[in-house]
Amino acid sequence: MMQRLQGGVIGLGVGEQHILAYNEHPSFDVTTICDFNPKKLAEVSSRYPSLATTHNAYDVLRNPKINVVSIASYDSDHAQQILEAIEKDKHVFVEKPLCLFLEEAKKIVAAHKQKPRLKISSNLILRCSPRFLDLRARIHSGELGEIYSIEADYNYGRIEKLTKGWRGEADYYSVFLGGGVHMVDLVRWLTGAEVEYVYVLANRIATSGSNFKFPDFVSTLMQLDNGVCAKINANFGCVHPHFHALNVYGTNATFINDFPDARLIKSRSAEKCSEQIKTNYPGVAKGALLKKFLNEIIGEELMDYTTKDVLRTMAVCFAVEEAIKTNEKVFVKPIEKQLI
């Protein structure tokens, strides 16, 4: 029998879902969990009493027995922890975003080039949602005709996490990197196309008067290389339940993601009813993509979500970040092509 591999989890908010994914995998064991918050660490540890605990992420990153590390820490910590994991020869699965700044991403790419056998991926989980898998199959079958426009909204619906949580205290926080990244990845995955350039508008009206210092609403227009036009909003201040709104317009049909069911409209007549699509939404555990990642490490499957995919999605987000600052059209440049 192949020796079981060991995993460590840093950050025990969504990171607890990572623990479950490791525990359900026949070839991996979580051995160490980490959170700098003693109360959180004690709470999660009480549910997994056999696991070693630490308040210091580097106890996980530098443990020679750990083969793969899940990083679910604060966004500002991701880059340094990824770089340390690569240096210590560990596979890395990180919550979005991969990192906060282009220069950090370039360092990660340069480090990974020295150790390409290591696997690196990010938890952009909408690729595993049954509803969006169903939509992608319909697009590829031609049921919607030729896609010409997509409108996607990341409606966060949790404004208190900006005004009262760590995001409001952070030196830098981006609602587009923290949420809009999901919709960028979804658009790329559904269309099989890459974003050429972006225009951006942003404001900070919803959180005005709070500790949060950065735009809470970011709206982007994007031109894809296959001619499709896309609009993506990261709307963190909305009075709305957490939801991934998505309208896909094709020459034969329009898909609208509603709750609880989606709709497929195949007629321009108001008298004709739309078809309900009842596939589950989101309908996926937050550790589902991690299971695929672990399978790739042991050679049981190849993920359709590669490190290159992660970087292409991040490149779009960094173009959006630049456009917020410059208020100008910004072309998307692959990160790996920007290395000195």
pLDDT confidence of residue 270: 81
pLDDT confidence of residue 137: 98
pTM of the model: 0.95
Q: Is the peptide bond before 260 cis (omega within 30 degrees of 0)?
A: yes
pLDDT confidence of residue 338: 87
Task: Please state the three-class secondary structure of the chain as a single string.
Answer: CCCCEEEEEECCCCHHHHHHHHHCCCCEEEEEEECCCHHHHHHHHHHCCCCEEECCHHHHHCCCCCCEEEECCCHHHHHHHHHHHHHCCCEEEECCCCCCCHHHHHHHHHHHHHCCCCCEEECCHHHHCHHHHHHHHHHHHCCCCCEEEEEEEEECCCCHHHHCCHHHCCCCCCHHHHHHHHHHHHHHHHHCCCEEEEEEEEECCCCCCCCCCCCCEEEEEEEECCCCEEEEEEECCCCCCCEEEEEEEECCCEEECCCCCEEEECCCCCCCCCEEECCCCCCCCCCHHHHHHHHHHCCCCCCCCCHHHHHHHHHHHHHHHHHHHHCCCEECCCHHHCCC
Task: Encode pLDDT of 287-338 as tens digits.
Answer: 999 999 999 999 988 887 889 999 999 999 999 999 999 999 999 999 998 8
Task: Encode pLDDT of 66-94 as tens digits.
Answer: 999 999 999 999 999 999 999 999 999 99
Residues of the chain predicted below pLDDT 70: 1-2, 340
Selection from 12, 316, 24, 33 nearest residue 181 by Cα: 316
pLDDT confidence of residue 2: 56
